[in-house]
Structure 1
């Protein structure tokens, strides 16, 4: 008997057997994960029903997105965009502060909302921002810049805020901008809307008798205090509480972590300036 040849045959048999067993393990593991996810989905629906947490419609398509980066736009005097009827100054190299020589009336009958109409007509690259909030009491509207055509939440380097007077005329606005957006990796499979609700419910962030108004996919900043910043796909979940107030939760759409976002742009400015000194 050729012992070397027999030994080689045994080695190959064992390798094939191990490969077969490993394949069986993977199939079993993946099947178990499918059952686990299905169980979680069924469980969250039951929990929401028990706590009278309602929703009208949730995104049900399989979303995917990539991480992105962007650079802070620094403005030199020669690069300041020119618009008639505007006096522009530069603050901290990266913020445009603009005063209207003659206040501009909000167009109430515009095809878009009057704030977005103003933005598209009077603000540099205004179509790259999306309306986030209107504060009638303070007479100001806040826009966030878009990354990969999705909203970038609360980044002090990528927003526009406009101000108006008692006559509903725009008197001023301020603008910061992120540029040179680049995809950092391949498309990532994202958590589904129900998986995100499961995470929020498990953290006791969904209160009884509340209503989930909508869920949107956007970006949050994971590296902000540098010239180049990094953005992660993030689910935005708006919830109306029993007392009529609203809460907004943000969840990293890849990792499932709760994203703590500082939601006051002026406070972010103060904090970043302190850190950069």
Structure 2
């Protein structure tokens, strides 16, 4: 008997067998993942239905299934760099905030208030089209815009916002502006949690109340390092929930790690900003 040939045959047989078993394992593992995801989907939908929690059609984030962390630097204005616009007088506060007063109040032209504020910012504010309208407070007569990073909203960063102020005749009288510049992608892109997975996280932490309605889910950025000249932003899900009493809650979830993001939402100077760690 040719033992050398027999040995070679046995080696090839074992290689083929191991390859077959490994292929079977991968197929079983993938099938198990599908069953697990299906089970989770059915479970969260059943629980939401049981608590009478309704939601809009969930975003299909195939186009945004991954995103990178970004960094940006605080924009410091010097007197020679203050942008000039007609009918405006500007001063610099703390090197990084522009305080602008209209020489003559500006009457808004469009009937739609949201569009008119956005139109004013785009035409009359330095790099105004890099900001997006976030909130209108009719009582305080102010509108808040947040800066965009990677073309999506950067939530509540005191170094990247605009506030418009108007008088009783609905005329713009002043605004303030801060800016982050030199946005850079950090590291490679990360896989993002799906909208359904985010709902699972919020429900598991008892943040979705019975008889509520999830009205919006958007992808943006939140700031994880905010106390330095260079700041770091993480992909973040914004979830708006209308409660039974018609009030609204907004939750923010780190779209990579699944952590609940605690955001200081008054745009005052930041002392400390942290994320709620997983329990």
Report how far residue 61 of structure 1 moved: 3.7
**SS of equivalent to 1:45:** helix
- 1:160 Cα deviation from its structure 2 partner: 0.4
Q: Do structure 1's residue 167 and structure 2's residue 175 form an aligned pair?
A: no
SS at match of 2:262: coil
Q: CA deviation at 1:6?
A: 8.5
Q: Distance in 2 between matches of 1:54 and 1:130?
A: 27
For residue 225 of structure 1, report the CA deviation from its aligned partner: 1.2
Q: How many angstroms apart in 2 are the aligned matches of 1:4 and 1:222?
A: 63
Deviation at 1:192? 1.4
Partner of 1:137: 139
Secondary structure of 1:186's counterpart equals strand
Partners in 2 of 1:3 and 1:98 — Cα distance? 91
* Aligned residue runs from structure 1 range 79-118, under 5 A: 79-109=81-111, 113-118=115-120
Identify the residue that residue 74 of structure 1 maps to in structure 2: 76
Give the counterpart of 1:243 among 242, 245, 252. 245
**Distance apart, 1:56 and its partner CA:** 2.8
1:254: how far off? 1.5
Corresponding pairs, count: 270
* RMSD of Structure 2 on Structure 1 (CA): 2.3
Gaps of 5+ in 2: 273-279
**Residue aligning to 1:275:** none
Counterpart of 2:277? none
- 1:23-59 deviation line (CA, Å, top 9, x unaligned): 5444433322221111111111111111111123221
Q: TM-score, normalised by structure 1?
A: 0.88
Match of 1:206 among 190, 208, 223: 208
Alpha-carbon deviation of 1:106? 2.1
Indicate if the aligned counterparts of 1:107 and 1:117 stay in contact, CA closer than 8 A.
no
Displacement after TM superposition at 1:111 (Å): 9.6
Contact 1:57 1:214 in 2 (8 A): no
Q: Which residue of 2 aligns with 1:234?
A: 236
Q: 2:275: which partner in 1?
A: none
- 2:218 counterpart residue number: 216
The question of whether the paired residues in 2 share the 8 Å contact of 1:110 and 1:117 is answered with no
Q: Which runs of 5+ in 1 are unaligned?
A: 273-277
Structure 1 Cα separation of the partners of residues 202 and 51 of structure 2: 14
Deviations 1:8-30 (A, max 9, x none): 98778767765654554444333
Distance 2:201 2:31 in 1: 22
CA-to-aligned-CA distance 1:106-161 (integer Å, 9 cap, x gap): 22336961111110121000000000000000000000001111000011111001
Q: Name the structure 1 match of 2:40.
A: 40
- What is the SS of the residue equivalent to 1:271? coil
CA spacing shift, 1:260–1:9, aligned 2, 3 Å? farther
